Every structure is written in structure tokens, then in C-alpha cells.
Amino acid sequence: MTAQLNPRGDVAVLVPAAGTGVRLGPGAPKALRPLAGEPLLVHAVRRIAAAPSVHTIVVAAPAADVESVRSMLAPVAPVIVVPGGAERQASVAAALAAVPAGPEIVLVHDAARALIPPDLVESVAEAVRSGHDAVIPVLPVVDTIKEVDAGGRVLGTVDRSALRAVQTPQGFRRSVLTAGHAAAGDPLTDDAGLVEKQGVAVVCVPGSEHALKITRPFDLALAEHLLAAGA
Ligand code: C5P
């Protein structure tokens, strides 16, 4: 099977899915945990593949699970599966290295955000297509945020109006993401952080509540509920 979805698409989506997911409790690697009977990764890939601009999907799987992930995803969508690394950043770099010639827009989407709406893939890609080098989906921060010391003592209150919670998919002009990873130092928790260090302007687009990151058991229960409600 070819690893190509829409041959006229201009977007490659990298899906880091090699994390262990210790915060979900003991069990399989997080991306392979079931949500309504199917692994999180299957949900994520199916939704990404439904976005019309997507040309290629590259999944970074736990090294021990590459073959099983390949078989698992074969009926879902044509995908390239590579072994991930010890850190998320290494998993993204491995996936990026496997993108074939063609797509000039690269999105990075965490498998843990399994209910990604295809429209969000399109809106991030469109913002890159319209000329931005780096684009992140964000939501306003609803809680009051305090800075605290190691002993739990409050040091101060942060101005929440200037803060945003950042989701994925994050989108980049391909050359910008490649340069960011080539220059990467200590692992960061997102890809926009890498290109920020290169002085690249990163712009925000509206995120989606449905793109929540499934990290703890409560998130899994919430995602099950959203799916049952038609998400
Ligand atoms: O660890 P965290 O929940 O922030 O992981 C975000 C995403 O990065 C998840 O989809 C996870 O599977 C992925 N990841 C990875 N390789 C690692 C660690 C995390 O692909 N070594």
C-alpha cells in the first residue's frame, strides 16, 4: 500500500506516539490504550486522514511495537511507521526524517490528542499556506495561575490574559521545522519551542476543546463521553 493519502495534498502530518503514558497508570504505551474499544492512535490517524489537505502521515511508534502498529493502522489509512526515540523530540525528528519529497507544510500532532477535529488540521495548515512559518492552536487559560516555589509557597500571580494553553497540531513550513530540529538542544515539550529559539515568529489560531490531551484517567473518561456524544 502506498503511504500517500491525497496525492494533491501539500501537508505531511507527523504523529509522535512513542510515549509510555505513565500518568494514565500501568498498561500499554499510551497511544495504544483503548478509547471506546480502539487505540487512541487509531482515532487520531482516522481523523487526520479525513482532512483533505493531508498527503502523508508518519507515525513514530514505540520501537518494540512498530510492526504491530503498522498492521493496526493498515485498515485505517496509508501511513509510514518509524520507531520513536527516548524523548518526544527524538520521536518527532525520526518521523520528520521519513517524510517523502513533496509536502511543504508539516504538522506535528500528538497521538494523545485522539479526538482531533479534521477541521483543526485544515485551519492550521491553511495558516501556514497563507504565509506563516509556524502556527500553533491555542485556547485561553481559564484557571488563575500562580507561580510557586518547591515548598508550595506562592511567589506570585501570573496575568492570565496574556497566557494561552497550547495544543497540537502545530504547523510549520517544512524547511523551518527541519532547521529547528537540526539545531535542537535539550528536549522541549513542543516543536514551536524549537523554532522560537531560531527567532521564527510563531502565530496562534483558535484551538479546539475536542483536541484535549488524554493524559490522566479522567481525560480518558471525558473523551469516551465526547465520543458517545458524537465528537
Ligand atoms: O509525554 P507527553 O504526554 O507529553 O507526550 C506527548 C506525545 O508525544 C504523545 O503522543 C506521546 O506518545 C509522544 N511521545 C513520543 N516519544 C516519546 C515520548 C512521548 O512519541 N519518547
% of the chain residues with pLDDT over 70: 98
Position 25 scores a pLDDT of 79
Ligand 1 atom with minimal separation from the 92 CA: 20
- Tens digits of residue pLDDT in 45-98: 999 999 999 999 999 999 999 999 999 999 999 999 999 999 999 999 999 999
Separation of CA 135 and ligand 1 centre (Å): 20
For residue 17, count other CB atoms closer than 10 A to its CB. Answer: 29
Q: Is it the case that residue 168 has pLDDT exceeding 70?
A: yes
CB 99 within 8 A of CB 83: no
pLDDT in tens, 97-115: 999 999 999 999 999 999 9
> What is the overall mean pLDDT for the chain?
94
Q: Decide: 156 and 149 in contact? Cβ < 8 Å.
A: no
- Fill in the amino acid letter for 15: V
**pLDDT band at residue 3, thresholds of 50, 70 and 90?**
low
Cα–ligand 1 centroid distance for 175 (angstroms): 23
Average pLDDT (26-38) is 89
Q: How confident is the model at residue 27 (pLDDT cuts 50, 70, 90)?
A: confident
Shortest-distance Cα residue to atom 5 of ligand 1? 19
Ligand 1 centroid to Cα of residue 96, in Å, is 15
Q: At what angle do helices 40-49 and 66-73 cross, to 10 degrees?
A: 50
Q: How confident is the model at residue 24 (pLDDT cuts 50, 70, 90)?
A: confident
Q: What is the pLDDT of residues 186-226, one digit of tens each?
A: 889 899 999 999 999 999 999 999 999 999 999 999 999 99
Model confidence over 50-62: pLDDT tens digits? 999 999 999 999 9
Q: 11-228: which CATH architecture?
A: Alpha-Beta Complex (3.90)
What is the amino acid identity at position 229?
Answer: A
- The confidence score (pLDDT) of residue 1 equals 44
Looking at residue 4, its pLDDT comes to 62
Give the span between the Cα atoms of 165 and 140, in whole angstroms.
6
pLDDT surpassing 70 at residue 117: yes
| pLDDT tens per residue across span 129-155 | 999 999 999 999 999 999 999 999 999
| Atom number in ligand 1 closest to CA 85 | 21
